[in-house]
A = this chain, B = another copy of it.
Amino acid sequence: MATGALSPANIAAPLRAVLRRQRNVTVLMGEVTDFDLDKREVIAGGERLAYDTLIVAAGARHHYFGHPEWEKDAPGLKTIEDATTMRRRVLSAFEQAELEHDPARRQALLTFIVVGGGPTGVELAGAIGEMAHYTLRGNFRRINPATAKVLLLEAGERILPTYPEKLSARAVRDLSRLGVTVLTGTAVTGVDPGDVRVTRSGNDEVIAAHTVLWGAGVAASPLAALLAAKSGAQTDRAGRILTQPDCTLPGHPEVFVLGDMAAFLHQTGKPLPGVAQVAMQMGNYAADMIKARVTGRAPPGPFRYKDPGSMATIGRASAVVDMGWTTMTGYLGWLAWLFIHLVYLIQFQNRVMVLFQWGWNYVTRGRAARLITTDWKPPEPPCPDGR
């Protein structure tokens, strides 16, 4: 969605509509401001809501390694709004380049930096490369979008570090075919409007780039810190709560902490990654646990994650898939990626719409959802008092 291949409504479903037949489910939209663990109440939207069992699954935001001021120049991708922001920035950069006469400024407008070589960064860089080389071909008169530079910066030794090495190498090859340059061992030391400072092999460099997108670092929702302060639970570096083996808050078996907010050690000793599969399996586990408690049956044992593998799509007809027992790349990997994502999209109607949209995109290399939805105005100057 961030690069215009799909629309927001294609991939998200209104929670209320999904749950409308569960008459014992009430959906309330409001901000949780406090927990009263002793009284077993959540304070949300100014109201005290009593609970027998509480499930906290407020997810995570991006993390800028102690530099929250980078966020305005390097937006991350976690929510639908983030994706709309990215779409607007990327498409606006091409628009502004078409208007720009100064060659250096034009090149900066056509330089896209993606920070972080995990699956998010790889997918973003691939999508921008594909857009520049195929989708926008012939759309401009003064610039050639294919001259856009897309740089994928990774501080570590290789991109997709949690995948087998040969998949990392394959991803670099597939990305370079889309005009993406992968720079490993490259750490970001500063983000300013118009340029990014990096350290590479001990040298400091400045790269002029109008558009910087953040695909690195994740920090748990502030509700994790609040819960930890109330319960004495420990948090890890990313602010996630170290839960019990049954996904509950230490000392509070009636409070489950699930998904990206939880630091859960896999049976292999590594913490589970912040991906949808982990959150979905934890959700099922908590439901089983609650059902067992309510009905008086024996509760299930500790939570065990069944890793179904991981995958990242790089571009049209290209993806890397790690199933543990086997790997897939290229066209086959892409078909697997497509299939899995369709299966998990939440509404039947969305599946048909997305399948149609993807089929259309595949044939035309187009991205219909290329809307720049914002008024074309310079941003308001900040308030005099710095707000």
On A, residues with C-beta under 8 Å from B are: 7-10, 12-14, 16-17, 20-21, 23, 25-31, 45, 47, 79-81, 84, 95, 98-99, 101, 136, 138-142, 347, 349-350, 352-353, 356-357, 360, 366, 368-377, 380, 383-385, 387
Contacts and interface: CB of A to CB of B under 8 A. Distances in A.
Given A8-B373, A25-B141, 11 more contacts: A12-B371, A16-B136, A17-B366, A27-B141, A28-B98, A29-B95, A31-B377, A45-B99, A353-B356, A380-B387, A384-B384
For the residues of A in contact with B, the DSSP-based class is loop
Q: How many copies does the complex hold?
A: 2
Nearest to A14: B370
Given A7-B10, A17-B366, A138-B21, A374 B99 contact: no
Contacts of A373: 8, 80-81, 84
15 contacts: A7-B9, A9-B370, A14-B368, A16-B136, A23-B141, A26-B142, A27-B141, A29-B372, A29-B376, A30-B99, A81-B373, A347-B368, A353-B357, A356-B356, A384-B385
Nearest to A387: B383
Given A8-B7, A45-B99, A17 B370 contact: yes
> Which 4 pairs from chain A and chain B are nearest by CB?
A9-B369, A383-B383, A26-B141, A29-B95
Contacts of A98: 27-29
Nearest to A15: B139
A139 B370 CA distance: 32
Nearest to A94: B16
Contacts of A17: 139, 366, 370
Nearest to A98: B28
A297 to B, nearest CB: 29
Contacts of A140: 16
A14 B91 CA distance: 11
B47 A99 contact: yes
A45 B142 CA distance: 15
Contacts of A16: 136, 139-140
A12 B356 CA distance: 17
A96 B27 CA distance: 11
Contacts of A350: 368
A95 B29 CA distance: 6
A136 to B, nearest CB: 8
A375 B78 CA distance: 12
A324 to B, nearest CB: 36
